[in-house]
Structure 1
Amino acid sequence: MTNRSLQDIEEMGSAKYINPYTDFGFKKLFGTPLNKDLLISFLNSLFEGKEVVRDLTYLNGENLGNSYGDRRAIFDVYCENEQGETFIVEMQKAEQQFFKDRSVFYSTFPIQNQGKKGIWDFKLKGVYTVGILDFVFPDNEYPQDCLRHEVKLMDVDDKHVFYDKLTFLYLEMPKFTKKEDELKTMYDKWLFVLHNLSRLMKRPAALQERIFTRLFDQAEIARYTPEERQDYEDSLKVYRDMKNVLDTAELKGLKKGLKKGIEQGASDERKKNAKAMKALGLPLETIAKVTGMSIEDIVKL
Structure 2
Amino acid sequence: MIAHRLKPKNDFLFKRLFGENESKHLLIALLNAILHPVDEKKIVNVTVIENKELVKEVIDGKSGRLDVRCETADQEQIDLEVQIEREHAMDKRTLFYLGKMYVSSIKEGHDYELLKKTVAINILDFSYLPLTQFHSTFHLYEDTTRDFMLTDVLEVHFLECPKFRSTKHDLNNPLHRWLLFLDEKVTKQQLEELIAMDSTIKSAEERLLRLSSDEETLRLYEAREEALIEHNSAMSAAKRSGMKKGIEEGERIGLQIGLQKGIQEGLQKGIQEGLQKGIQEGLQKGIQEGLQEGLREGKLETAKNLLSLGINIEMIEKATGLSRAEFLK
Calculate the TM-score normalised by the size of structure 1.
Answer: 0.66
The match for 1:288 is: none
| CA root-mean-square deviation | 3.1
Match of 2:195 in 1: 207
- 3-state SS in 2 of match to 1:114: coil
Cα separation, 1, equivalents of 2:119 and 2:236: 31
Give the corresponding residue for 1:106. 97
Pairing 1:133–2:124 present: yes
The structural deviation recorded for 1:95 is 2.5
Q: Quick check: 1:75–1:89 contact (8 Å CA) kept in 2? A: no
Distance of aligned partners of 1:251 and 1:121 in 2 relative to their CA distance in 1, 3 Å threshold: closer
Match of 2:160 among 157, 166, 172: 172
Structure-2 separation of matches of 1:92 and 1:184: 26
**1:200 Cα deviation (Å)?**
4.3
Q: Once the two structures are superposed, what CA deviation does each residue of 1:2-40 show, in whole Å capped at 9, x if it has no partner?
A: xxxxxxx7xxxx41x221222321112111111111111
- Deviation larger for 239-248 or 81-90: 239-248
Query: Is the CA contact 1:55–1:82 (under 8 Å) kept in the aligned structure 2?
Result: yes
Residues 179 and 107 (structure 1), Cα distance of their counterparts in 2 relative to 1, 3 Å cut: closer
- Paired position in structure 1 for 2:259: none
Q: Can you list the C-alpha shifts for 1:63-116, whole angstroms capped at 9, x where unaligned?
A: 9xxxxxxxxx95511110111110011112223232211111111222222334
1:222–1:74 distance in 2 versus 1, CA, 3 Å: closer
Match among 209, 230, 250 for residue 219 of structure 2 = 230
**Secondary structure of 1:135's aligned partner:** coil
8 Å CA contact 1:87, 1:128 repeated in 2: yes
Equivalence for 2:207: 218
CA apart distance, 1:231? 1.9
Higher Rg = 2
Structure that is richer in helix per residue: 2
The whole-number CA distance in structure 2 between the counterparts of 1:193 and 1:234 is 23
Secondary structure of the 1:170 match is: strand
Contact map agreement 1:56 1:80 (CA 8 A) in 2: yes
Give the percent of matched residue pairs that are identical in Structure 1 and Structure 2.
24
Paired residues of 1:183 and 1:189 also in contact (CA < 8 A):
yes
**Residues 1:88 and 2:79 are matched in the alignment:** yes
Q: Residues 19 and 50 of structure 2 are in contact (CA less than 8 Å); yes or no, is this contact kept in structure 1?
A: no
Shift in Å, 1:178: 6.1
Counterparts of 1:175-194 in structure 2 under 5 Å? Answer: 175-177=163-165, 182-194=170-182
CA–CA separation in structure 2 for the residues paired with 1:237 and 1:24: 12
Structure 1 segments unaligned to the other structure (5+ residues): 2-8, 64-72, 258-301
Residues 152-196 of structure 1: CA deviation (Å, up to 9, x unaligned): 111010102221111000111111126897422101101111123
Look up the match of 2:314: none
Return the alpha-carbon distance in structure 2 between the equivalents of residues 37 and 125 of structure 1: 22
Paired residues in the alignment total 229
Which of 30, 36, 41 is matched with 1:48 structurally?
A: 36
In the TM superposition, residue 148 of structure 1 has moved relative to its aligned partner by 0.5
CA contact (8 A) 1:180 1:206 kept: no
**C-alpha distance in structure 1 between counterparts of 2:163 and 2:237, whole Å:** 22
Q: Hey, what does 1:292 align to over in structure 2?
A: none
Opposite residue 113 of structure 2, the aligned amino acid is: F
SS in 2 for 1:53: coil
Determine the C-alpha separation between the residues in 1 that align with 2:113 and 2:167.
47
Task: Note if contact 1:178-1:192 (Cα within 8 Å) is conserved in structure 2.
Answer: no
The structure whose RCO (Cα within 8 Å, separation 6+) is larger is 1
Contact residue 28 and residue 44 of structure 2 kept, 8 A? yes
Q: Which residue of 1 aligns with 2:281?
A: none
Amino acid in structure 2 at the alignment position of 1:59: I
* Equivalent residues of 1:75, 1:88 under 8 A apart: no
User: What CA distance in whole angstroms lies between the structure 1 residues aligned with 2:99 and 2:211?
Assistant: 40
Q: 1:277-296: CA deviations, max 9, x gaps?
A: xxxxxxxxxxxxxxxxxxxx
Corresponding residue for 2:49? 59
Call closer, same or farther: CA 1:119–1:246 in 2, change over 3 Å.
Answer: closer
Among residues 135, 141, 156, which one is paired with 1:154 in the alignment? 141
